[in-house]
Structures are given as structure tokens and as C-alpha cells.
Structure 1
Amino acid sequence: MARTAPKVDRLADEGEAMTDALATVLSVAEEKGTVTWSDVSDDLTSGEWGRLIESGLLIDADGEGFVVDDPEGVREALEESDPEPAEDDDDGGWSTWDKLAGLATLGLFAGYSLTSVRDAIGGVIDIGLGPLAEILPFYVVILVLAVFTGTTSSILQDQLMDMDGMQDSQEQIKDIQNRLEDAKERGDDEAVERIEQEQMEAMTEQMGSMFAMFRPMVWIMLINIPVFLWIYWMVFGTGMTVEAPVMTFPILGEVQSWQEGVAGPMQAWIVWYFLCSISFTQIIRKALNVETSPTAS
């Protein structure tokens, strides 16, 4: 069954004692067909026995004991389970390079307020993009850059965001809530206390997963901010002039200057960049089948 491996993994996260208990129950069930508490009471605690039932891996066999649900899947999951803790858990999956990228991104933000930083970044980027701006109309250059940033953003999100892990985390929370409701309905106070503790731990892990979602954003901004600052530098910092009209916007009509406000305080160059970026990013994500949120189970 597709849900067996995540259930075994959650037991493995609780410690080696739980996987040993599951292995013991599996062995007895395969030997005798069913397993009862008296069969394993010498090897398991009552808490471990109850936890196996709550997990859904041990199910009632019509009053004749219990059987292991999907024994083959349980056996494979036990063999594949890794008892070693993940090295990056404390940092939400952030490597040293991710942290350095984050610091560099914070430094790039200074370009929005400090002219000297913006001019330095614009001058360096212009070495590569300057020839392009001489060949193509500026609105086409912005279009090309919007496609570039949309493509890199989509690829980085696809490669750095753990959608499977986020989906597993959501399913785990839902499973815990269902087991908690069942325990409350049958009045099992001991199980309620144990499941509530498990719920708190799962919520803590989910917070770590949410922190890891910012990891691709750091790399995206590391690429997008210099591009955006170069466009700003071209429009304001180099005295660039474009013969009027600059271009014709849908609904808004002809725009005489890239600095002209076309949507309240939003200037023409910003509006054109975001229109291109949003439109092409959606197309690119569809083409590359990039998911930016967990799929519904």
C-alpha cells in the first residue's frame, strides 16, 4: 500500500524501539497468521502495542487477534528505514552555500537605496547585457530578461523545494488529527496524551519545513535582483533616451517614457517587466511541470 512507508517512517522517527516492536509483531503474525497481545507481551510494552494499533499498521482480525496491514510493504519499509538523523534538520535543510547566498542577497538589497551600490552592480551586469541593449529595442530586452528570470526561478523552485516532504508532513498532521479524534471518542486518555505529544513534535517539524521553503527564494533573489537593478540603472542611471513613443501598452495607449507612471506610482518599465515576468513564468511552469505547492492527497 502507498501509505505504508510513511507510517513506518513515522514510527522509525520515534526511535529504534518502535521499529523493533513492529518487526517483532510482523514476525509473529507471519508465523501464526495473527498476533495477540499475549504473544508479544514479553517483548513489547503496552504503549508500543497501542502505538502500533494507532498507526494503522496493526488491524483487528474480526476479534481473532490482529494482522499486519500490508506485511510486504512493512518489511520493505523496515529494510529501507534509516535510523541516522538528518544532518541539516537544525537548519531547516540549509547548507553553508545557502546561507552564503542569503548574506549575498541581503547585500544586494542595498542597491535599491544606495546609488553607489546600484551603479557598481549595473556597470558589472552591463558588460554582458549592454551589447544586447544596443541590438534590440529596450522593451524586447526587458522581455528577454523576464523570460530568463522566470525560467531560472521555476527551475530553482523545482530543484530546491521538497514537495514530497511537504506533502508527507501535511498527511502526517492529518493522520495524527484523525487518530486523536478516535482516541477521544473511545475515551483512551493515555492514547490522547501520547498523540498530543506526537502532534506537538509534528508541528515543530512542519515549522522546519516552512523555513526550508525560503531556501529557493534566496537563490532566486540572488539572480533576479542584479537583473532588476540593471534595468533600473539603464532607465535612471545612464541617461538612456528612447525616441517617443516608447511603446503602446494595452488599454493604456502610447507611453512616452519608461519613467512615466502608468498605473498609479508604478512606472512603465516596472509594469512591463512584471507583466512579462508573470505571464511567461506561468507558461514556463506549465511547460516544465513545476509544482510550487503540495498536491492535494
Structure 2
Amino acid sequence: MVRIEQKVRDLVSSDPEMRNAVETVLERANDGEVKWVDVKGDITSGHWGRLIEKGVLVDGDEGFELADPEAARAGLENGSSGSSVSTSSSVDTDDLGESSWSKYDKMAGVVTVGLFFAYWWQPLQRLIGSTMNVILGPLVEILPFYAVVMIIALATGLYSTLLQANLMNMEKMSAYQERMKDIQKRRKEAQKAGDDEALDRIQQEQMEAMGDQMGMFKEQFRPMVWIMFLTIPAFIWMYWAIGVRGSGGHIVLQNIVLPLVGKVSWTEGVLGPMQAWIVWYFLCSMGFTQIIRKSLDIDISPSTS
């Protein structure tokens, strides 16, 4: 188990007295198990607690047992190696944990996937469009359509920013990125030094870090599920109201004047296949989102030291 080996190296490098603690536990373990009374007086309670905290010692049948005795011994041996290349990560991988979605996140994800079918299946599109029209229809009666799209963009920008700020664990995201940068740095150092053993250990660590990459992806995608869950119905309503793809328009529209383009119809392609209505929405959404983030002083980009 590569991580146990790394943890032992980290413990020894941060506190030289931990070497004696690990050696004592390895020596006193009977059938892989060891109790506090077996080592009391030879190691401190603080060192004993650190071994449990880092997962070097785990619960056994009667006391504690070494999670991987061979990896612990390898950690002691590699920790005393004279190589100038560091093969242990400076990032505490225990803090990464696993990214878990709640049952509500998963339910929102399933519903969101179902909502995508409304773009092509007109019965579902009509159902969502007419339902959303109860909320948005009155706005169209008192405001021009471009202003209604601005209000939708403002609302989506606001809840998107708040959802990203509250559902993403920025500290965990930073830890993911920091660990990958640390691995890449040590890999380059090992390559320059020609240390094949260090390269092999770093390669094993990199393979284990792929699980962390998946956790990082899940952290990033979790708020996106809720954003799409709330935004897709508004998009479907615009499809339904404007009459995109022959779905039949349900409101009377005037042409819009777009920057650098001029007067165009709402369903006219202005940026490749992108029609005027969606270009106008994205322009408003990007502008409002930046204003909201600055106003609320919200930074959703993970920072690394």
C-alpha cells in the first residue's frame, strides 16, 4: 500500500522521533496486533495518536493492527535513503477525503438528464414551456422580450454564483490541485536525477491520485447539476415562446439590435449556428455574473499556495 509507505515517510521526516515509534510498534506487534500497554513507556501517547490518526494503525480484534506492516517497513527504509529526490508528497492526502453527493444531488441529476429531452420532444417541451409561462408570461406582457431575457440572465447568474460558492469545497479543490502539482514537480526532479526507484514510487502515487482527480471532477460538477436543474426550464420556455425548431411561437416578438451585428430576428443565426436569442442571453449572463461576483466578493477559483 503506497499511501501507508508515504505516510510513514512523512511522519519520520516531520518528526525524527517517529522512527522509533514506528519501529517499536513493528517490533511489539503480535500477529499484526499491538495495544497501548505493549508500547507504553517506549513511545509517547502523542506519537501513538499520530499513528492512529494517519491510518498507520487501524482497529483490530483486540487492539490495533498495522494497516500494512511491509509498507511501514518500506517507509522507514526509504525515509533513510540518501537520495536527494523527495518521493513523499508535501500535501496531506488525508484531508482530501472523498467527494460524496447527497441523495438530493443525485435526484437533481436524474431530473436534469430528463429535462434535456425537452429540447427534442415537443410534448415535454410544451408541458415545461406552458408551466414556466405562468411565472414568466406576465413579465412579457409588461416588458419587451429582451428585458425578460436580461432578468432571466440576472437570476441565473445570481443563483449560479451562490450555488458554486456554497456547494464546492474550495479547500478540497485546492488540495487536489496542489497534490497534482507536487507530484509533477517531484517527477521532474526524479527524472533529472535519474532515480528510477523514486520514479517508480511516484508513478504508483500518481496512479492512486487518479481517484483524487475523480473526486475533483465530482466537486466541480455538483453545483452544475443544480444550475442546470434550475436553468434548463427557463431555456425550454424561451424555446417554446420564440418557436425554435418549428415548435411554434407563443409570443409576439420584435427584432433586436445586437452589438456589432445590428437588427436581427430572434431566431436568426448571428454567431455561426447560434441564434440571436441565445447570444443575447449569454452576453447578459456573463456580464451580470461578473458584476455579482465582484459585488458579493465571491471567488470560485481554487487557490494554491
Give TM-score scaled by structure 2 length.
0.67
Q: Is the 1:24–1:40 contact (alpha carbons within 8 Å) kept by the matching residues of 2?
A: no
Q: Is the 2:12–2:79 contact (alpha carbons within 8 Å) kept by the matching residues of 1?
A: no
Mapped to 2, the partners of 1:274 and 1:25 lie a distance apart of 51
C-alpha RMSD of the superposition:
3.6
Q: Is the 2:13–2:79 contact (alpha carbons within 8 Å) kept by the matching residues of 1?
A: no
Mapped to 2, the partners of 1:185 and 1:42 lie a distance apart of 36
Q: Is the 1:180–1:192 contact (alpha carbons within 8 Å) kept by the matching residues of 2?
A: yes
Aligned with 1:239 (options 242, 250, 267): 250
Equivalent residue of 1:254, what SS? strand
Equivalent residue of 2:115, what SS? helix
Paired position in structure 2 for 1:130: 137
Paired position in structure 2 for 1:100: 107
Paired position in structure 1 for 2:260: 251
Paired position in structure 2 for 1:139: 146
The answer on 1:47 being equivalent to 2:54 is no
User: 1:1-297 maps to which residues of 2 (within 5 A)?
Assistant: 14-15=3-4, 18=7, 22=11, 26=15, 28=17, 41-43=23-25, 46-50=73-77, 54=86, 55=88, 89=98, 92-183=99-190, 190-236=197-243, 237-242=248-253, 244=254, 246-255=255-264, 257-297=265-305
Amino acid at match of 2:167: L
Mapped to 1, the partners of 2:252 and 2:218 lie a distance apart of 44
Amino acid at match of 1:275: L
Decide whether aligned partners of structure 1 residues 105 and 179 sit closer, same or farther in structure 2, where only a CA change above 3 A counts. same
Equivalent residue of 2:257, what SS? strand
Equivalent residue of 2:263, what SS? strand
Mapped to 2, the partners of 1:267 and 1:24 lie a distance apart of 60
Identity level (%): 46
| CA deviations over 1:220-261 (Å, ceiling 9, x no partner) | 11111101111121112453213x5x3432233334x43344
| CA deviations over 1:114-156 (Å, ceiling 9, x no partner) | 1111110011111112212212111111110011111111111
Mapped to 1, the partners of 2:187 and 2:270 lie a distance apart of 55
User: Structure 2: where are the runs of 5+ without partners?
Assistant: 27-71, 81-85
Q: Is the 1:25–1:40 contact (alpha carbons within 8 Å) kept by the matching residues of 2?
A: no
Paired position in structure 2 for 1:70: none
Q: Is the 1:173–1:203 contact (alpha carbons within 8 Å) kept by the matching residues of 2?
A: no
Equivalent residue of 1:248, what SS? strand
Mapped to 1, the partners of 2:206 and 2:192 lie a distance apart of 17
Mapped to 2, the partners of 1:156 and 1:294 lie a distance apart of 15
Q: Is the 2:9–2:79 contact (alpha carbons within 8 Å) kept by the matching residues of 1?
A: no
Amino acid at match of 1:258: W
Paired position in structure 2 for 1:73: none
Q: Which deviates more from structure 2 when the two are superposed, residues 274-283 or residues 246-255? A: 246-255
Decide whether aligned partners of structure 1 residues 235 and 264 sit closer, same or farther in structure 2, where only a CA change above 3 A counts. same
Q: Is the 2:256–2:266 contact (alpha carbons within 8 Å) kept by the matching residues of 1?
A: no
Decide whether aligned partners of structure 1 residues 292 and 40 sit closer, same or farther in structure 2, where only a CA change above 3 A counts. closer
User: Structure 1: where are the runs of 5+ without partners?
Assistant: 1-12, 30-36, 58-76
Q: Is the 2:132–2:237 contact (alpha carbons within 8 Å) kept by the matching residues of 1?
A: yes
Deviation at 1:293, TM superposition (A): 3.4
Amino acid at match of 1:109: F
Q: Is the 1:108–1:226 contact (alpha carbons within 8 Å) kept by the matching residues of 2?
A: yes
Mapped to 2, the partners of 1:189 and 1:258 lie a distance apart of 62
Decide whether aligned partners of structure 1 residues 206 and 128 sit closer, same or farther in structure 2, where only a CA change above 3 A counts. same
Structure 1 stretches of at least 4 aligned residues deviating more than 6 Å after TM superposition: 37-40
Q: Is the 2:89–2:179 contact (alpha carbons within 8 Å) kept by the matching residues of 1?
A: no
Decide whether aligned partners of structure 1 residues 254 and 159 sit closer, same or farther in structure 2, where only a CA change above 3 A counts. same
Paired position in structure 2 for 1:8: none
Mapped to 2, the partners of 1:23 and 1:213 lie a distance apart of 35
Give TM-score scaled by structure 1 length.
0.69
